[in-house]
Amino acid sequence: MKIILKDGAKAPSYQTEGSAGADVSAFLEEDFILKSGCYSAIPTGIFMAIPKGYEVQVRPRSGLAFKSGITVLNAPGTIDSDYRGEVKVILINHSDKDFTIHNGDRIAQLVLSKVEEAAFSSVECLDETQRQGGGFGSTGFK
């Protein structure tokens, strides 16, 4: 995938041979404090040309979520193939402590995913299913 990096930004990188997601790092001029209960768009210094028919999903890093309560607010976030602006990651701090993000800290992971474009067609009724209109919790909680 073609990318442009701001001077000093890190390219996304896979940490192990079997990784599905490439870690992406913060690109900051100075440390940023993500206050408890707050969220912010963190720049990465990365611009990319995603092939048509694909998206890049922005997902949390499990270690940050488990150890510090930091996650991607709109997980998974979607970067569309026609977007050419800087990739930013919306992080939220679910912990009761402020969290400092340093330049170069790995803050999320990017997963390239194939997408299909749907053709929507209006009809008078839909086929029946066992579930029908049952929504949240309709199959039970246990």
Q: How confident is the model at residue 85 (pLDDT cuts 50, 70, 90)?
A: very high
Residue 131, pLDDT score = 82
pLDDT of 141 over the 80 cut = no
Place of tokens 């028919």: 53
- Is 0.85 surpassed by the pTM of this model? yes
Fold (CATH) for 2-114: Deoxyuridine 5'-Triphosphate Nucleotidohydrolase; Chain A (2.70.40)
pLDDT in tens, 8-47: 999 999 999 999 999 999 999 999 999 999 999 999 999 9
On whether the CB atoms of residues 63 and 70 are closer than 8 A, the answer is no
> Domain locations in the chain?
2-114
Residue 136, pLDDT score = 75
Residue 135, pLDDT score = 75
pLDDT in tens, 105-139: 999 999 999 999 999 999 999 999 888 887 777 67
Residue 114, pLDDT score = 98
CB-count burial class (<10 Å; 0-12, 13-18, 19+) for 131: exposed
